[in-house]
Structure 1
Amino acid sequence: MITITKEELIQLGFGTSQSQTIIRLAKNYMVQEGFDYYKSRRLGRVPVHAVEHILGITLEISKEVAVHGECV
């Protein structure tokens, strides 16, 4: 599973506040899907598919962005 952080969203061109909001919404989405692990306030890494669900688009992740989980 590929994951993404706020800092990586900023590298993709999202603003700081916007990135924080996206991560928060993605964590809420994961909790609704039954993954209580994402209730942690200190957790700042979410699956890319959750972010894509929130945004309604597929993220184009380039090699410059250090996304964790798989080699891009």
Structure 2
Amino acid sequence: MITVTKQELIKLGFGPSQSADIIRQAKHLMLNKGYSYYSSKRLGRVPVKAVEEILGFSLVSYGDKSHA
């Protein structure tokens, strides 16, 4: 599973607050899908697919599947 952190989102051009909000929303989305693992406040890594679902566009290019 490809994952992303707040710092990686910042490197992609999102602001610090916006990155934190995206991670928070992705964790909430994963909790709603039944993944209780994402209830931890200290967890800062979420699946790229969850972030893409929130943003509405792809973060991973087709040529680079290693990570975002």
User: Structure 1-normalised TM-score?
Assistant: 0.84
Match of 2:66 among 57, 62, 71: 71
User: Structure 2-normalised TM-score?
Assistant: 0.88
Moved over 2 A (4+): 60-63
- Secondary structure class of the residue paired with 2:43: coil
* Count of residue pairs the alignment pairs up: 66
Shift of 1:38: 0.1
Aligned counterpart, 1:5: 5
RMSD: 1.8
Shift of 1:60: 4.0
What is the identity percentage for the equivalent residue pairs of Structure 1 and Structure 2? 59
Structure 2 unaligned regions, length at least 5: none
